[in-house]
Structure 1
Amino acid sequence: MSDLHERRVERRDGRGGTDLTANPFRADRDRIVASPFFARLGGVTQVVSASGSGLLHNRLTHSLKVAQIGRAIAERLTADPDHAALIDRLGGCDPDVVEAAALAHDLGHPPFGHLGEQVLDRLARHRFGLPDGFEGNAQSFRIITTTDTRGPSAAGLDLTAAVRAATLKYPWTRLSHPDPHPRDLPDPPRGAAQPPEGPGTGSSKFSAYVTELDDLRQARAVFDDLVPPWQQTVEASVMDNADDIAYAIHDLEDFHRIGVLQHAPVSAELGQWEADRAEFARLDDAELASGRRPGQSLERLRRRLHARDSWVVDDEAFAAAVSRVRAELVDDLLSMPFDGSVAAEQAFGRFSSGWTARLVAGVHVVADPPTRSGHVLLGPRQWHEVQVLKFVHRRFVLLRPDLALHQRGQARLLTTLVEALDQWLGDRYEADRLPRRLHDLVELARVEYDWLAAEHPRALVGATGEGPEGQAGVLALARGRAVIDFAASLADGQAATLLEALSGRTGQFWSDAFVL
């Protein structure tokens, strides 16, 4: 067994455990699937709440499809002799590692999907003063290394270094690691830049909190001499591409199935841009921003891609992608309303399988990628097609006013729930009657923040340059992290029902499996 392989299979505490397979990476996959955090994803929103209908993807079905696509990409790449030597030089690409990472990648998604992620980040930073706030990817890493209790040491799942590294889509912390931080690169990696609306707050995406920094370092140590510290491993890059492919295809299917994605407006947007692309290109930015003519939103996308991804964007490839999406999504799939018939289901099957196979076939490995990409990336044609598919989803689903109305209600619910949990935690008369899980999370976070305050006090300094004041400040951080961990571990329905109980608006006995 090579030294690299031994380091890739190294576990966090070295104890292993009793598993159904001798293959360490398959054992990791089995541990993730057996986790209650994985099971709860069936009740967590992908884009909008499925309400038990079975018609829409949730985070569980999405994760399963990412795992399926990721494994297909990994198997294809490792079977290609043109890629074999380069993949080995970069640290390897085991299909079992990719599958395990894909199954784990959304474990940290809170109730109500990305909307819940934004709400918890705002509360974590502004209400509780947590310097690294909340991020779904970092929460996933915290679960597999710290807060899940199914591992042999009752701290995380004790996964191999390769699988932990493969879950790190954004292998940096929000503010401090690595040094220099990737947000300061001339062309930062995707997700590393600060959000325009939040200067000084650190990276918009990151995969580890400071509490898990040692776990990040240990997992990535295997790859220290193989890829830069801010660069994804090959297996993480495969998982990331699989996530993009699943998102681009399956969410569009969902919203056509329930009648939200309509043929006429999508057809008008894409068709008008194709017909008048030269005219749109001549408009200045102010004219483009102020108009609502079909085609203008797509032109704005083309210009954003030039500004953000000049390393790959090409106008002719963009036009070809618009043409293909219009022909295969608009003129084929969307041309007939979904009616549940055999023909309609077959149309879904053709669209899904055809596009998945096409995009998977376009994935390849490069030795020297741009900083905006990992070593594994889509070919230029497929990359442009994914951008157009994601545009359709954003423009005609995510920006709908009725979805915004629904999400504002969810944001208020989650905010009120966090405030109620914080008040309960601060009630000294109720200290002995806290949910046991919440109490345990406070104790866990207190140990973590005590250690950081003593050994790495700079890690607790936020974007304002201020850290916690004394033991009381450290305890306040621990309580805040515990409340965020607790709220993030709930499914959509659990969050709503728990708030009903805390608000006194229900007679239902509250111990209905609220706690993981």
Structure 2
Amino acid sequence: MTSGGTDERPIDPRAVRRSGGTAGASTPGDLAGSPFRVDRDRVASSPFFARLAGVTQVVSPTGSGLLLHNRLTHSLKVAQAARAIAERLRARPELTGVLDKLGGCDPDVVEAAGLAHDLGHPPFGHLGEQVLDRIARNRFGLPDGFEGNAQSFRIVTTTDVRGPAAVGLDLTVAVRAAMLKYPWTRLSHPQPHPSGMARPPRGAAEQTEWPGAGSAKFSAYVTELDDLTQARAAFAGRVDGWQQTVEASVMDTADDIAYAIHDLEDFHRVGVLQHATVATELGTWQARALEFAELDPAELAAQARKPGRSLEALRRRLHAKDSWAVDDDAFAAAVARVRAELVDGLLAVPFDGSVEAEQTVAGFSARWTGRLVAGVDILEEPTTRSGHVVLAVQQWHEVQVLKFVHRRFVLLRPDLALHQRGQARLLTALVEALDQWLTDRLEADRLPRRLHDLVELAESEYRWLAAFAPAALVGATGEAPSGPDALRSLARGRAVVDFVASLTDIQAAGLLDALSGRTGQLWTDAFVL
């Protein structure tokens, strides 16, 4: 209803955009009517989203054809699972009041967040994330380093230029909040910081190898602190300041489901995941579980390379970290189900590309996805180690065992480590080469325009923080940078990290070849977003 040409409908705080615009404000490029569907379309149209086709999920997809997921296909499947979970929860009348009380659960919101959650992943996936974090903190002195989730949030709020104002994508409050898997900064927000809680939320605790460096995982840099607080304001009084929104919890759960299933599918296809080794690990633990439970920790660690011991170590870690959920009977049942369906089912016959093999893989993936999605429920008052959206006890244990198989028999392989060490050296050399170019006054006017723009953007951000929120620039040492040169150095570091993080695997390698003179070909491919 309107009166005198003025729309009297109350403004939905979840649909307010970063710019302050309301749901009814649209741009010529927006085709959808729903503000959250508009967000989904904006993410899908972003060049940062398109580049995910060239970014590693676990190993580089280059040359693998149809065999391996990349970050794009992973994101599509996360969005698919997230939407299915949201629709199932909304279809249950007994949950309507709980969902409304906690802030809502819209399928378009969780789908948009699922598509956007990995936008910030750099070349070479999690390996690249670790390398850029180390460089950002140690070389450039950035107090919050680099984190893939925070980089995703920075892209949609700041560095993507496809939005109406060329500053981010101008997404709604609900979608931005749904991207905040870890709704805190590394060191300073909120206060008290969740890293200091007696039982910190997942990701909030410090990494043991870097004491004082802040949370291991976080979803916003200090440069986007205003965006984080604006996105979370609509949920004040509904969820705790450190707690995910329901929609973020749906996205997080969908990410876990996709990770647990599809990476195993990939490595079965390429012949890395071997039937005999996985069968021996799971079968030995089943046969000797009571014996292994009696081993003292030192004895178990000394036997870590022997079959069954790694699985026993997982059971003990779950008791130590997630005692609220772990159940030994459910764990044993999960091992039995994974052995029956993964080991004796999928892995029993090597993948040969035949129709039968493809159907076996598709059936495994469909059964497990359906089982896990169907096992999702809501907790109105979860523990600090859980979101509001949780898997049922049995499915939760099954995900832990599936992820264990992936880690134990893929991620810990020496040949993968060899490959990743080379990728780490490549990224380190690329950052050094770009930093040297930035500090070369004779060549400064020939910088890639995108890199130049990123330096100017970061410098304006750090100058504003130094003037109005200097505490945000205090790092683990307790000291804040001072003086124009210090701020310029921070800006240069953030710009280089932003630039490198926006490349695909192939672009990163090709750019380093060009910068190091290892190629005679004139660089003509577009390596800048």
| Fold agreement, TM-score > 0.5 | yes
Cα gap change, 1:16 to 1:200, in 2 (>3 Å): farther
Determine which of 73, 78, 91 is the counterpart of 2:85: 73
> Larger deviation: 337-346 or 478-487?
337-346
Kindly provide the CA deviation profile for residues 267-300 of structure 1, in whole angstroms up to 9, marking residues without a partner as x: 0000000000000000010110011220000000
Aligned match of 1:9: 15
1: distance between equivalents of 2:301 and 2:137? 32
1: distance between equivalents of 2:291 and 2:495? 55
Residue 319 (structure 1) aligned with residue 332 (structure 2): yes
Kindly provide the CA deviation profile for residues 303-355 of structure 1, in whole angstroms up to 9, marking residues without a partner as x: 00000001100111000000000000000100000011111111111111100
Residue 96 (structure 1) aligned with residue 105 (structure 2): no
Aligned match of 2:4: none
Kindly provide the CA deviation profile for residues 452-473 of structure 1, in whole angstroms up to 9, marking residues without a partner as x: 0000111001001121121110
Cα gap change, 1:38 to 1:4, in 2 (>3 Å): farther
Residue 240 (structure 1) aligned with residue 252 (structure 2): yes
Residue 503 (structure 1) aligned with residue 516 (structure 2): yes
RMSD: 1.1
Determine which of 402, 405, 413 is the counterpart of 1:392: 405
Residue 173 (structure 1) aligned with residue 185 (structure 2): yes
Aligned length: 516
Residue 435 (structure 1) aligned with residue 451 (structure 2): no
Superposition map of 1:35-46 within 5 A: 35-46=46-57
State the SS of the aligned residue for 1:303.
Answer: helix
Q: Normalized against structure 1, the TM-score is what? A: 0.99
Aligned match of 1:26: 37
2: distance between equivalents of 1:325 and 1:256? 14
2: distance between equivalents of 1:499 and 1:273? 47
Deviation at 1:54, TM superposition (A): 2.7
- For 1:293, the aligned partner's letter is K
- For 1:479, the aligned partner's letter is R
Cα gap change, 1:345 to 1:375, in 2 (>3 Å): same
Determine which of 239, 248, 255 is the counterpart of 1:227: 239
State the SS of the aligned residue for 2:261.
Answer: helix
Residue 452 (structure 1) aligned with residue 465 (structure 2): yes
Kindly provide the CA deviation profile for residues 23-44 of structure 1, in whole angstroms up to 9, marking residues without a partner as x: 1001001100110000000000
Aligned match of 1:49: 60
Aligned match of 2:5: none
Deviation at 1:199, TM superposition (A): 1.1
Aligned match of 1:138: 150
Cα gap change, 1:460 to 1:3, in 2 (>3 Å): farther
Kindly provide the CA deviation profile for residues 140-169 of structure 1, in whole angstroms up to 9, marking residues without a partner as x: 000000000011111000000000000000
State the SS of the aligned residue for 1:128.
Answer: coil
Deviation at 1:198, TM superposition (A): 1.2
Deviation at 1:16, TM superposition (A): 4.1
Aligned match of 2:503: 490
- For 2:46, the aligned partner's letter is S
Deviation at 1:511, TM superposition (A): 3.2
Deviation at 1:4, TM superposition (A): 8.6
Aligned match of 1:159: 171
Cα gap change, 1:4 to 1:248, in 2 (>3 Å): farther
2: distance between equivalents of 1:117 and 1:354? 32
- For 1:239, the aligned partner's letter is M
State the SS of the aligned residue for 1:429.
Answer: coil
- For 1:24, the aligned partner's letter is P
Aligned match of 1:250: 262
Q: Is the 8 A contact 1:67 1:98 kept in 2?
A: yes
State the SS of the aligned residue for 2:390.
Answer: strand
State the SS of the aligned residue for 1:319.
Answer: helix
Q: Which runs of 5+ in 2 are unaligned?
A: 2-7
Aligned match of 1:191: 203
Aligned match of 1:340: 353
Cα gap change, 1:5 to 1:170, in 2 (>3 Å): farther
Determine which of 363, 366, 371 is the counterpart of 1:350: 363
Q: Is the 8 A contact 1:45 1:112 kept in 2?
A: yes
- For 1:30, the aligned partner's letter is D
Deviation at 1:241, TM superposition (A): 0.2
Q: Is the 8 A contact 1:135 1:206 kept in 2?
A: yes
2: distance between equivalents of 1:54 and 1:148? 29
2: distance between equivalents of 1:343 and 1:510? 44
Q: Which runs of 5+ in 1 are unaligned?
A: none
Kindly provide the CA deviation profile for residues 35-83 of structure 1, in whole angstroms up to 9, marking residues without a partner as x: 0000000000000001142310000000000000000000000011121
Residue 426 (structure 1) aligned with residue 436 (structure 2): no
Residue 117 (structure 1) aligned with residue 129 (structure 2): yes
- For 1:110, the aligned partner's letter is P
Q: Is the 8 A contact 1:16 1:152 kept in 2?
A: no
Aligned match of 2:341: 328
